[in-house]
Chain A
Amino acid sequence: MATVTQSGFSEPSLLAKIVSRPTALAGLIVITAMILLSLFAPLISPYEPAQLAVRDRMQGPSMAHLFGTDDLGRDIFTRVLYSGQTSITVGVSVVVFSTIIGVFLGLTAGFFRRLDAPVSRLIDAMMAFPDILLAIALVAALGASATNVVIALGTVYAPRLARVVRASTLVIRELPYVEAARALAVPTPVILVRHVLRNVTSPLLVQATFIFANAILAEAGLSFLGVGISPDIPTWGTMISVGRQYLDQAPWIMWFPGGAIIVTVLSLQLLGDGLRDFLDPRLAKDV
């Protein structure tokens, strides 16, 4: 569990640090459980997500249907698990997409002095748009589909990552080992990847965890509004949107997908908080 650093000090691994903090550990366990439950949905649930049973419509939670059934008699537990596949996949894809763009912009702004001002202003301008608003405008322009939701949310969150990467790059750029690499005529792309990028992974990982959480909330919002992923694909947001129509007769239709969102987002926030304390203690006091 321990790695020996160049200075000879023994430093516990990231996993050991997370284990030492109960809230972060709880976050890690719960998010892992949510991912596994979604992945193995076909093995866990005896029903199909689209399996209709009109005679059993709007049944409350019972042993046969743990979370009850919806307006078409579909098993809500099954649909919550399958919806998790979509929501979590979108969340992960948004993280990957925004990281690629954010790292590129952040490294460019932080490393090349001449490009810093224009790229930073672009980042500022992108951050002036509230996330849901920019996302729905982009989805409206590109067309509603899962891929376009990922592109839209990735574009929304990329500037946040870019800011973090830029700030770290500005510091790392001035460090002696980067100067030494420059003096040795190491090509700039190699310096950027080997010396700079490697050292910004900690703040990047912390931000990525929070963006994962935000992306799940935002995707649910877009699906709820009917401007995101096609309503035919079950997502937590569309399930709540359906449940909204039966608020007085079968409120459990919207209780459980909402609960799934809260559990997933909360676990990511707990994990992110823990990671921030270990990896980026300067930021820990801010929030």
Chain B
Amino acid sequence: MVRSALNRMFGMLVVMALVVTIVFVIVRVTPGDPAAVMLGPDATAADIASLRQRLGLNASIPEQFVSYVWGIVRGDFGQSIFLGQPVTQALLQRAEPTFFLTVFSLSIATLIALPVGILSAYWRGSVFDQAATALAMLAASIPSFWLGLIFMQFFAVKLGWFDSSGYGGPGASFGERLHHLVLPAATLGLISSALITRFTRASMLDVLNDDYVRTARSKGMSEWRVVGRHAFKNALIPIMTVIGLTAALLVSGAIVTETVFGLPGIGNLIVSAVLRRDYPVIQGALLVVAGLYVLVNFAIDMLYLIIDPRVRY
């Protein structure tokens, strides 16, 4: 088991190193001078030269790479050009809405998907199963920003139950801030529930036909215990994987949803950085999000090792 864990950790470090390299390359594939692109057509030659100096673009590519990697090791992602603050600070300041949005959305998605997926598998082929499968497919086809706007139109504009945008201002209480997250979280949660529902259904179908489930039934165990204790427990590993990966993917969903609902989170920061070509922020955000994804994947693999001793890497 220790050997497997070390193998997997080595694999993760290699992927992480590649992620760092890819991010470095992406910013440097910009046609022309990145400093000139960032400052726009009105910039003077002196402005461009000064920015090139600040970003270290005058050094050779290998030198730039070394200083960039060294910065990451020290937790320094550079300085935002338009915000005038370190990228790490900008990301941390905006982490709260994104974190709560992700947690809230994932809770909604799981609360919908687990019961629906389990019952769909249990009543396979029934009207309930067909309706749930169709709805899951529909949910996976809806653009999140469009669903967000529909919710906003109905619940905020028409019924006035929620504010249509923002996070409640600087002095808002925790409850007020959560209230602002209801519509964005419902939007993301509903759409993410599609994938978790389909995986839950498939995993449950796999185990419901297994011998030990039949044995449990033949012993006269109640259906509730058979499904809940025996089948669900064994179907949990693939379900946990997909929930973990959904959590990482929700950060991506947050990019669009935060823009729709005007939430001051990391997603919103990324979009404004892209529109203003603030490359250090884009670079830092890419690293953080992809790094989180790799770590979540690694954590899931480790969990597999602990839960199921047969797993080897």
Contacts and interface: CB of A to CB of B under 8 A. Distances in A.
A254 interface: yes
Contact of A122 (B18, B164, B256, B274): B18
B249 A130 contact: yes
Interface stretch (B44-52, B80-88, B140-148, B177-185): B140-148
Interface residues of A, number: 47
A240 B145 contact: yes
A136 B270 contact: yes
Contacts of B282: 137, 140
Contact of B274 (A213, A221, A224, A227): A227
Contact of A269 (B30, B140, B286): B140
A254 B154 CA distance: 13
A261 B248 contact: no
A220 interface: yes
B288 to A, nearest CB: 10
Interface string B183-201: 0000000000000001100
B137 to A, nearest CB: 6
B286 A137 contact: yes
B71 to A, nearest CB: 18
B251 interface: yes
A266 B141 CA distance: 5
A136 B199 CA distance: 28
A121 B15 contact: yes
A140 B313 CA distance: 38
Contact of A247 (B19, B27, B149, B249): B149
Closest 9 CB pairs of A and B: A130-B252, A125-B18, A258-B146, A265-B141, A266-B141, A140-B274, A128-B290, A128-B293, A141-B30
Interface of B: 11, 14-15, 18-19, 22, 26-31, 137-138, 140-146, 149-150, 152-153, 157, 164, 198-199, 202, 205-206, 248-249, 251-253, 255-256, 259-260, 270-271, 273-275, 277, 279, 282, 285-286, 289-291, 293-294, 297
30 contacts: A121-B14, A125-B15, A125-B19, A128-B293, A129-B293, A130-B251, A133-B285, A133-B286, A136-B270, A140-B282, A141-B26, A141-B27, A141-B279, A142-B29, A142-B30, A143-B30, A143-B31, A217-B141, A221-B143, A221-B145, A227-B271, A240-B149, A247-B152, A247-B157, A247-B164, A262-B143, A273-B137, A285-B206, A287-B198, A287-B202
Given A138-B29, A247-B153, 13 more contacts: A124-B11, A125-B18, A125-B22, A128-B290, A130-B289, A131-B252, A133-B255, A141-B30, A225-B259, A240-B145, A265-B140, A266-B138, A285-B205
Interface of A: 121-122, 124-126, 128-134, 136-143, 213, 217, 220-221, 224-227, 237, 240, 243-244, 247-248, 251, 254, 258, 261-262, 265-266, 269-270, 273, 285-287
